[in-house]
Structure 1
């Protein structure tokens, strides 16, 4: 085998390995790479209740699915109830909430952080779209400052349970939904 034919053989192997991935990407298939958050458009509505996100205070959420769909949520309780749902079967590329140390509570925009990296304040006096909510923060220190000012307990994502984000009230004791 000459050097030239050896190079062609490597090129054929490379093409054979790369072609299926290239074809899948052309068909709209997604890889397991986490998808970046997308700022909701004006008038965007909540996946669960149809409420307009911009009409309510407090942190919002979004889930980016592997099929390309993005679902928005007007409250962290709604977002986390879906994220922690044991029967969730759609592949999630990324789930995000907002860093409320940087976003305006009354009209939050931008400052998206990964749900699993956030610290949450449960039981504060600040309310979201559905009443009591979990305030979200990128840094524990910011969550602790918020908790001292507005009450509540700081929890990392790993300590949030499905019972805490039940949509029938859970630990927030909100029976409004």
Structure 2
């Protein structure tokens, strides 16, 4: 039980450090110090820095997939177009994930120089895409329409998280516009 707890603490610490200090502010030694564990403990769990960053990505993937699954279960969206639109707008509501967007941008930078991190990032996007396509199919969307929606939504979400505070329209209006365009277009 303690081993899992240490891993979680280390991952949370690394995530926070990525958000606050960026790519160059994260070393295994600094993460160990901030986590209150030994350097050898960090190395035992993650091997190297790329292994730790890959675990941060995997942790975020689980959070995202859990959010997707629980949102559908909490809302009666099947065969309910208004509920589906509302769910999609909620999916685009990233205000609480702004810190994660900063972390993902740092991970993109690391992935440019690390095949291991790039593979984890690719896995993250692939799994999110597959989960969203499966979700939309379960909500009675045709498979092709589901793939089209996901192919537009994921890049939009990534870019929206970066630019949403700078757009001429309020975030809420942009969310509504994109959802209406996706469902009516």
Larger Cα-atom Rg: 1
Larger fraction in helix:
2
**TM-score of the superposition, structure 2-length normalised?**
0.29
**TM-score of the superposition, structure 1-length normalised?**
0.30
Higher relative contact order, structure no. (Cα contacts within 8 Å, ≥ 6 residues apart):
2
Larger fraction in strand:
1
